[in-house]
Structure 1
């Protein structure tokens, strides 16, 4: 009986996964298992504590689940999630699109940085909730005012992180590019921009978190839909379990958005030795 030696490695490779693959899969399974265990323990602790209080003060996980089912059936939860998501993504995307070029220009043009720095340093310390009234007066109680507040909370964070990335570019790389005859535009595209990508992603993730803080405040003050409006309505009807549903929905939605952002940018960030 003869055996074709050329097919042996291929058959063995299909039959047994390599040790490197097994080592990579085990930490991933461990992380997932620990995360699931942590959630289960947290729900169990929540259930134990809720037994000592009234449902108005601290609803149990089961009561909260029943409230979520009720809100899903009548469409309130889905409409609230959709409204908040649209406002957050629109304002956040506009803030990133504007903030990145502004940060790049401030980093590359010293006189522009000196002119814009007082405004950046001033407005980044003024919380968006302070502009809710002005946003409603200037833009009305519709969608524009909410999107503008999300844009406001995003653009400064992204611009500052992009600026930090530009200023942290190694001077030797810039000199090398100029020595090789690269134009300023070519240097910006091939040297400055790639080195700034990790800072841009960090700024975008931080801005996403702040966007969730802002949208709740804006929807509580002036909105008929959205998760912030749902939480405020639940307060008026003394439905504490609805408040918990709104809070949990915000956390899950933020986790989902951040996971998508990390998944989309992880491949490009891996080139620069950065992982999230």
Structure 2
């Protein structure tokens, strides 16, 4: 998470603000209801078609925040310490399914409208809320959500990823990449920390899945690519972060294979975990 210095006007508490309802562009008849909005607290709920997302985000210091969120009764708690560059979150070994993921995406769209699409001016607790909703909304359906701790102290990388000698790199669209592996249930980690990709250029994406081992592909990614390939978050708009290798891997795996029921024996679970810190702490819109 990137701490943003705000002017006095931006930090003025909205004292005595009445609960408000707003409609996200994708929300239809759904409503976002804000029950508290001050320079230290932001809470409310989003309801649509019987689905409900409730949230409470609090700024507890200059660069610290806490969050409690429930989506259709599934709880999450999270905390962020910008001084120590660490974050923790806990999904209490629950799971999110298609209706939960859709509710989170629609809540994120409604929050985007509430904030006028201006993600970079959010206070620390608001940014924390938006980034966590973005990450959880991208979870493979049915994936167990455990307790996790993130070390955010490693400096971001800016070196170009290259394939090991002798490894086949498939060009984007090569049909052989669909069946290129032969080793089933082999998962290989390719965690890069936060490592930015080049803007509007081909970058090396890696992923493995239930039908093939670790696979290397040359993929066009960046702001001008199809649906902002490589950007952490869904698509190009509000709630997304930077363009990184781990998010490129997650995007490519998700577009080819879809979801997961276990991070170690099905589709895209390990790519999802490797992108956790990228969603959390990469600079919005950054690529090289």
The higher-RCO structure (CA 8 Å, 6+ apart) is 1
User: Considering the TM-score relative to the shorter chain, is it more than 0.5?
Assistant: no
| Greater helix fraction, Structure 1 or Structure 2 | 1
| Greater strand fraction, Structure 1 or Structure 2 | 2
Query: Rg bigger for which structure?
Result: 1
Q: What interval of TM-score do these two structures reach, taking the shorter chain for normalisation?
A: under 0.3
TM-score, normalization by structure 2 = 0.21
